[in-house]
Every structure is written in structure tokens, then in C-alpha cells.
């Protein structure tokens, strides 16, 4: 049996990696896993049970009693959930608890799909270091803050754009500065800077990079 294709897409908060990963998965009929949603679910579960996401024991307890249904809850998309996710993600025990699920998804993509696309911070470096293709998606912090601010506004969350920029800078610093599986560019990753690109331009670039690397024709 041939090994399923694995596409790793990493990048900082609000870089657009989620949209690109979803569209790449559709283009090649691969399964898609947003690994940030797992950390967001653990963060929200910790808050809901009255725990502190910065506290390793509280966060680990939520990770070990993980409820997969939470990943579909719109509550995990809030600003507070993003912050809690970044805090729980800094604990090595939490990362270990979520690792097997992510690796299993890449090895045996659901629905018998011929491949899997995973997006996150450490997919190309830790979760799937043997991925067939790795993209690292970036954009300036200002461009990312503007996109995230528009998204939060659409969801009805009233917040200043300057505050969102500050959140993004804090989150980048925590995600890249933690000791356990920090966000970093894999040596063999292809870089995609979306600062000056429209969504459709970024999607076309990502699909072209993956098609070229896998020698596959997109749908």
C-alpha cells in the first residue's frame, strides 16, 4: 500500500494558512485537519471548567479528557479562545496528548482520502517531519491583524484593530519562543508570503506549489 500524501502547512496566527490548507485539500481531494482547533478546544474546555490555561495541570486535564465535538463549536474562534489556545499549547504534556491524533490523521486520512493536509505551527518540524511537501505561510503582522480584525468584526466581536495587532504580536512571541515544538520554518519548507496577495492569488500559489511538489493535477 502506498503511503498517503502528506501536506504540512505552518505559519503564524492569521497568516491565512487555514484558508489555504482547506482549499489545497479540496483541490486534491485530501482530508483536512486544522490542528489549531485542537489547541483551541483544549483552551476553551480549560476556561469552561474554571481552570487556568497557563497552568500545566489544568490544561493537561482538559487535553486528556478531550471532546472532539468542541472543535466544531464557534466559541473556539473567539479572541479569548485564541489566547487560551496559545497558552495551553506551551505545555509539553498537552502537545504530547494531541500528537498521536494528528499523526494518525496523516497516516490514515479519514474517508480513505489519498492524502492529508494538516495546518498548524509544528506540522513540518514535529508532527509530520516526513511530509511530502511543506509550506510556511507568512504575512506582515499588520496585514494579519487587519484580516483577523475583519473576521472578529464579522463574528460580532467589537475590538480595536490596534488591540488585535498587539494580540498577534504576543501570540507570535509565545508560539515561537516556547521550548516545546516552537513555531519555526522547517529547513525544507517552501515559503509563501501572502502580505500583498488576494485570497484567490494566495490559494492559486499554494495549489501550484503543492501540485508541482507532488506531481499531481489539481481538480
Residues that bind ligand DC (CB under 6 A): 13, 35-36, 39-40, 82, 85-86, 89, 120-123, 171, 175
Task: Provide the grid cell at 117.
Answer: 493536509
User: With respect to ligand DC, which residue has the nearer C-beta, 29 or 142?
Assistant: 142
Please say whether the beta carbons of 153 and 34 come within 8 A: no
To ligand DC, the closest distance from the beta carbon of 219 in angstroms equals: 26
Task: Provide the grid cell at 159.
Answer: 475590538
User: With respect to ligand DC, which residue has the nearer C-beta, 29 or 188?
Assistant: 188
User: With respect to ligand DC, which residue has the nearer C-beta, 147 or 209?
Assistant: 147
User: With respect to ligand DC, which residue has the nearer C-beta, 147 or 171?
Assistant: 171
To ligand DC, the closest distance from the beta carbon of 198 in angstroms equals: 21
To ligand DC, the closest distance from the beta carbon of 12 in angstroms equals: 8
To ligand DC, the closest distance from the beta carbon of 1 in angstroms equals: 27
β-pair partners for 192? 137
User: With respect to ligand DC, which residue has the nearer C-beta, 40 or 210?
Assistant: 40
To ligand DC, the closest distance from the beta carbon of 20 in angstroms equals: 12
To ligand DC, the closest distance from the beta carbon of 86 in angstroms equals: 3
User: With respect to ligand DC, which residue has the nearer C-beta, 91 or 205?
Assistant: 91
For 186-204, b/e burial (b = at least 16 CB within 10 A) is beebbebbbeebeeeebbe
Put the strands of the sheet holding 133-138 in their side by side order: 31-34, 115-120, 5-10, 133-138, 190-193
Amino acid at each position: 500500500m502506498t503511503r498517503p500524501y502528506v501536506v504540512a502547512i505552518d505559519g503564524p496566527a492569521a497568516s491565512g494558512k487555514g484558508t489555504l490548507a482547506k482549499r489545497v485539500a479540496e483541490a486534491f481531494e485530501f482530508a483536512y485537519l486544522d490542528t489549531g482547533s485542537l489547541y483551541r478546544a483544549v483552551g476553551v474546555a480549560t476556561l469552561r471548567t474554571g481552570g487556568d490555561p497557563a497552568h500545566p495541570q489544568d490544561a493537561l486535564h482538559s487535553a486528556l479528557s478531550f471532546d472532539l465535538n468542541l472543535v466544531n463549536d464557534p466559541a473556539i474562534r473567539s479572541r479569548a479562545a485564541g489566547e487560551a489556545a496559545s497558552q495551553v499549547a506551551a505545555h509539553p504534556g498537552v502537545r504530547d496528548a494531541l500528537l498521536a491524533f494528528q499523526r494518525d490523521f496523516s497516516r490514515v486520512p479519514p474517508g480513505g482520502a489519498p492524502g492529508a493536509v494538516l495546518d498548524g505551527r509544528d506540522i513540518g518540524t514535529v508532527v509530520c517531519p516526513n511530509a511530502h511537501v511543506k509550506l510556511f505561510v507568512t504575512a506582515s503582522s499588520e496585514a494579519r491583524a487587519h484580516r483577523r480584525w475583519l473576521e472578529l468584526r464579522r463574528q460580532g466581536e467589537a475590538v480595536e484593530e490596534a488591540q488585535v495587532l498587539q494580540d498577534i504580536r504576543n501570540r507570535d512571541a509565545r508560539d515561537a519562543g516556547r521550548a516545546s515544538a516552537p513555531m519555526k520554518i522547517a529547513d525544507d519548507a517552501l515559503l509563501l508570503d501572502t502580505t500583498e496577495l488576494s485570497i484567490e492569488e494566495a490559494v492559486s500559489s499554494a495549489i501550484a506549489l503543492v501540485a508541482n511538489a507532488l506531481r499531481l493535477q489539481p481538480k
